Structure 1
């Protein structure tokens, strides 16, 4: 699987999120789908959707959790194993209940960090320890106390689970959705309760299950006017596309072709096969597949994005540019697509294209400021147009998000030497220098 910045799924590993092989993945379409499913639930809970960060963890296990306040983590294993959108929505309604209830809103002082991505890295390490029952699983992450994970992190009480369930049922009713998905998910888990911790899915280790919880959901369903209300056609369509896309990127092409054979002419299957050919890589067949989808669905930004990715990866950035431009035009709010468009422009090695890349990166960074790869592209773009101070500042931002404090300090000093004294950019560079010094001192002092 391609893990370059330009990978369509941008299934590139987040540079600050490694813990026992766990990493974050980025994808504009999948994130938009999850966000659109979750936003009505957040509103029902009285939460600001923009204040909640959603992370997709590349991990085959069935798990989801909240941590560090308003951070929702969903494993790819969970996304792939949900049989319909109502199951995923039910799980997210439950996790929203944890957020609204303030469960685990405060993490241990030992994992405080100035960098959000450093916090994410720590959370993934601790989640691995708690979910597997093995404190050593998160040993790569500094916890400041060997038993912190086991004592307090991601360990929900049965009382909190019941409270989150009750809240979830309320949110589902408020949004006019059936709780059948949550019921089915809990019943799936109940079949694993007798398994050892090593064999059962981590969700059970972090979310204690009891028959009372299932009974409470059943009782709610009996009285709910939305009991038999199915998912909308749009939800079903988007969920099927998400599963097909994830499967094609995360499994081998052979597995994808078995699950989505040529005899399956539905859109998700065609999408999956296009990705599988890209993964082989057989770029010609991949282009043939995706272009038939574009012919049938010309206004779909993500099909244009895949075409652009295939062309870019095959060393044809000039041909990829119109496809990236089409994707951006059809989804102008996607910072991820705009970053990839800027990267394509930079690959043209043309001064006019470099100027356009700067404008796109300055727009994209407004929503992608936690993505270290975006800051790297920003640094390249600024360097190409001779804005050396701004380029150094962007590199300092990148290194800060990657927890590389020595490099961040060096680039922040370099930026200050180039930027006008007292300017907002110079003051930001000074802040980053001081932050980097503090973080290095904390590391030295243990």
Structure 2
């Protein structure tokens, strides 16, 4: 496991291979906004409002939880890669983030970031359903539907961008519902994010949703995949538009699904010769494992056990995780050993074993299974950081230079891992290298979106570093960073 930013309340909620980014918080008191401005706020923001409805309390407090999991992220990348290529986009230029939210939702905020709720993956019974959603959101990116928003926040860090989106979306939702306090709260959040809510609004257009639908079907056709999963997902929620309040799935709030739209999707989908093509057995098996893992770590134990009560590999995966979460780590380890006996080449079973040992004070024993996982997935930054953490917590095998090597390699592959920088700073400090410890700390603050603290620490580090060295340049980049404004 890669832990969060020392937030104890989140460790119980998110105890798997995650990094929970520091919550985005509301800024200063809101500027006064006219009724005209608020009613002009986008109720859809191309898939953003549903997230705010799904976690309205979090939205009004100005926070959203991003989570990290190597296994899930690898699967999503594999889903998205052919779709991005079919759309003429470079997969390496688009980052997909996981949002810890049980609602079905996916959204884009600019040309390089897509967000998918954990609930989307848990709800989808087949890979094709998720791939259809990714294809639709890719249609918004490739279609230039986000051009004004992109201009405003493409240069912003992910955390800062989320603050902007939360503010705009919360104000929009409040204005649309006549809730003045919610609208005011949204404006407050946005005010802390360069006032983006006052300047960056897209006029919601059904034509853009239709265009994204058509584009998605083209991408699926080009990649030899069925649009049936996309149709299944949309049909599942279309009838809910007849209801109101909390019973409406949040995806509908920004993706209205009138029956004529469903009909258009169905007609186009059925024209494809790939309509009845199913996902491969191997891909379905990976999807089932990720569903089980996410449910086991984000739902309560009883609910998860009802969902995964069989004897399949995915069922046993969920059962082992729930057993661990309920405090029976010795029994959980035996269950993980059973998984490894059945599938010894699955790296994430080795990761889970290492995580359980690491989190129960057995850093020495965690090193071997994590090394095995890394031998299978050498470029997964999260695994490298976890191994570095195990080495630092080891009692008999503590090797600070070895920890530095794994942490640096992990952060090179995944520079958003805030915990990795804190561990790296700790290792450098033990080696007596204060300058490197300080620049690592500065990078950690920057990854977490705490730009003020990052600049202060970078200034301290730069005074100790040789001018022009890679670390000095890192400090200079942080000191030179300016949040984007319109």
Q: TM-score, with normalisation over the residues of structure 2?
A: 0.83
Q: Secondary structure at the match of 2:114?
A: strand
Out of 192, 214, 218, the residue aligned to residue 262 of structure 2 is 214
Q: State the SS of the aligned residue for 1:152.
A: coil
Partner secondary structure for residue 69 of structure 1? coil
Q: 2:299 maps to what in 1?
A: 251
Q: Give the superposition deviation at 1:297.
A: 1.0
Cα distance in structure 2, aligned partners of 1:29 and 1:239: 10
Which digits, 9 at most, give the CA deviation of each residue in 1:395-435, with x for residues without a partner? 11111222323322321122122211332322331332343
Equivalences for 1:106-117 in 2 at 5 Å? 106-107=148-149, 114-117=156-159
Match of 2:179 in 1: none
1:336 is displaced (CA, Å) by 0.6
After TM superposition, list the pairs within 5 Å mapping 1:37-76 onto structure 2.
37-76=79-118
Which residue does 1:152 correspond to in 2?
A: 201
What is the aligned partner in structure 1 of residue 443 from structure 2? 397
Match of 1:195 in 2: 243
Give 1:357's match in structure 2, choosing from 395, 403, 414.
403
Matched, 1:341 2:352: no
Report the secondary structure of 2:149's partner residue. coil
**Number of the residue aligned with 1:177:** 225
1:156 and 1:207 in contact (8 A); partners too: no
Unaligned ranges ≥5, structure 2: 6-10, 26-57, 177-181
CA distance in 2 between counterparts of 1:429 and 1:351 reads: 32
Per-residue deviation, 1:144: 5.0
Give the distance between the partners of 1:177 and 1:62, measured in 2 at CA: 22
Q: How does 1:354-433 map to 2 (within 5 A)?
A: 354-433=400-479
Q: Residues 27 and 108 from structure 1, CA distance in 2 versus in 1: closer, same or farther, beyond 3 angstroms? A: closer
Shift of 1:349: 5.8
Output the CA distance in 1 between the equivalents of 2:353 and 2:197.
48
Residue 373 of structure 2 is matched in structure 1 by 327
Q: Is this contact kept in 2: 1:9–1:28, CA < 8 A? A: no
Q: Tell whether the 8 Å contact from 2:351 to 2:369 is kept in structure 1 after alignment.
A: yes
Match of 2:20 in 1: 13
1:232 is matched with which residue?
A: 280
- 1 CA distance for matches of 2:220 and 2:155? 35
In structure 2, the CA distance between the partners of 1:427 and 1:4, relative to structure 1 (3 Å rule), is: closer
| Structure 1 spans left out of the alignment, 5+ residues | none
Matched with 2:72 is: 30
Seen in structure 2, the aligned counterparts of structure 1 residues 62 and 125 have a Cα distance that, compared at 3 Å, is farther
Measured against aligned partners, the alpha-carbon deviations of 1:120-162 in whole angstroms (never above 9, x if no partner) come to: 343345445556755356444435559549x825x64110111
Q: Determine the structure 1 residue equivalent to 2:340.
A: 294
SS at match of 1:365: helix
Is 9-18 or 199-208 further displaced after alignment? 9-18
Q: Higher relative contact order at CA 8 Å, sep ≥6: structure 1 or structure 2?
A: 2
Name the structure 2 match of 1:168: 216
- Taking structure 1 as the reference length, the TM-score comes to 0.90
In structure 2, the CA distance between the partners of 1:177 and 1:111, relative to structure 1 (3 Å rule), is: closer
Quick one: structure 1 residues 160 and 361, their matched pair in 2 at CA, closer, same or farther if it must change by over 3 Å? same
Contact 1:368 1:374 in 2 (8 A): no
Q: Which residue of the other structure, out of 302, 305, 318, is the alignment partner of 1:272?
A: 318
**Count of residue pairs the alignment pairs up:** 435
8 A contact 1:131–1:203 mirrored in 2: no
